[in-house]
Structure 1
């Protein structure tokens, strides 16, 4: 293993050690006002962006902006070419940038926040941000590593990007393949058996590669569960009805946390440790966002937050 990867892994572990973890998230969630919760974050890395936040959406975005900033810092610590390992893992930020530019279901375009600044972690944002219409956005995606999403409706664009991100992660980041397959399971199950709509054709192809053709062609939720390969079926193991997919979502996050922590404990410094750090940092941000929502509701944690911590 090169000295660059060893140094990057050591710094990744140090970065993780600064985050509040489950205990810190519980403290935030127990606050009965959002202002108090934000004060709890003052001694954490989230204070960089959260100290000026006003309202829950802005506070939650401050948390994810902090995560992105530290992923960019981590990418800068890695040896030449190492940042490519993190690009698929940061794809959600580029998807969020695209989603914020699309019309809402009522046809209106809400005031968009400033796009996340991706730096070396972008996939194709410099091309996508210049698209003025959904049709232009589809064309820009088709000409990029994202590939054609299969439609130019807001739903097709975002769904196509999410499934493409899962596929790219599984291929480019082997330690994260299990998480990518689990994410593809959740996306497929939610679209087909909750919203009752078929995936766009390119997303169907990605799903078939990740989950197998038999599972992606299932006609019912139970059939879908039964046909999933063992490498992907774990995420729905205890979720017998599609209405309970929120439990599967929490299970997915717990698995990412456990796997990431195990990678951080790995004695071999290198890419696995870095991927583990990204996993643990991402879970922490997700947990703190849920904790802030709890505080905004008067200190009443929701079921998903309880299931995670």
Structure 2
């Protein structure tokens, strides 16, 4: 066993202490004002980017930035293969950067409100896939070309919707391939995305994204004519998420179920093989779930908070 793997797993297990858990999220959610919640977070591992006086969206983004920092630290302790796994797991940050970038490029300066300011991009460091190149693009079509020439692949269109969806599909397929321990999460998340886009929004994905999604969901699922058919023909790795979600309009219920599964699996992975890759994947999962809970708790605090037991139950809903 190489020293790099030992150091990477040791760091992964140490980062577990950065999670506040359900109890900490409940404390945040029960705050009567957002600034009270932020003052609480200022004494926690989330203090790095959290400051009182910000908007709820800015506070939630600061929580995400802290998660990204932890993942960058974790990646820095990994051997090459471990860094690749963390990069695949952290792809959502580059997607967020690109979404803001393409929205700014597509905005019509002649229309009121379209030139609104976007937040500064997340600092990806070694977790970047193609962001340095993408950030230099000056039009949606140029951005699409940059993605097509990278590991992201062609999203199939240069509209903000096509780029956002195409990148998410690509990220799911890459995650399932690069991180086998996360394949179940990737397939289920892709099923949720596909179901929302096609059967709720009513928007047909570009053909290239449909073909890419078929690698995880199967050709029968991506060609389904109804939500009922879609759910029935999904492979087992994805179908579990939609259990009891009988109508497409209720797909929102699957979100908490997905996070609950990621947390449960993450705990198990963190306990596994002493110096294998699983503890690193587990640590990323638990850090991500914790950040998701804290972002939700901040939203509740911004609305005036509530009883800690009720809020804790909402945040820990098993789906």
TM-score interval (norm. to shorter): over 0.9
1:21 CA drift (Å)? 1.0
Output the CA distance in 1 between the equivalents of 2:314 and 2:253: 7
Aligned match of 1:228 in 230, 234, 237? 234
1:82 CA drift (Å)? 2.6
Output the CA distance in 2 between the equivalents of 1:308 and 1:100: 32
User: Per the alignment, in what secondary structure is the counterpart of residue 32 of structure 1?
Assistant: coil
Q: TM-score, normalised by structure 2?
A: 0.92
Output the CA distance in 2 between the equivalents of 1:197 and 1:41: 39
Residues 53, 88 of structure 1: alpha-carbon distance in 2 compared, 3 angstrom cutoff: farther
Aligned match of 2:253 in 247, 251, 262? 247
Output the CA distance in 2 between the equivalents of 1:21 and 1:109: 38
Structure 1 unaligned segments of length 5 or more: list them.
none
Structure 2 unaligned segments of length 5 or more: list them.
109-113
Q: Which residue of 1 aligns with 2:211?
A: 205
Work out whether residues 102 and 109 of structure 1, in 8 Å CA contact, stay in contact via their aligned partners in 2.
no
What is the aligned residue count?
309
**Structure 1 residue ranges, 4+ long, deviating more than 4 angstroms after superposition:** 104-107, 300-304
Q: Which residue of 2 aligns with 1:87?
A: 87
Work out whether residues 53 and 62 of structure 1, in 8 Å CA contact, stay in contact via their aligned partners in 2.
no
Residues 65, 308 of structure 1: alpha-carbon distance in 2 compared, 3 angstrom cutoff: farther
Output the CA distance in 1 between the equivalents of 2:58 and 2:179: 31
Output the CA distance in 2 between the equivalents of 1:239 and 1:265: 31
1:254-298 deviations in whole A, cap 9, x for unaligned? Answer: 000100011011143221100010000001001100000000001
User: Per the alignment, in what secondary structure is the counterpart of residue 87 of structure 1?
Assistant: helix
1:160 CA drift (Å)? 0.3
Report matched runs for 1:154-303 at 5 Å: 154-300=160-306, 301=311
1:127-156 deviations in whole A, cap 9, x for unaligned? Answer: 000111111100100011100000011100
Q: TM-score, normalised by structure 1?
A: 0.95
1:70-120 deviations in whole A, cap 9, x for unaligned? Answer: 100001111244311111111100010011123379851420111101010
User: Is residue 39 from structure 1 mapped to residue 49 from structure 2 by the alignment?
Assistant: no
1:52 CA drift (Å)? 5.2
Give me the CA root mean square deviation: 1.8
Output the CA distance in 2 between the equivalents of 1:37 and 1:247: 26
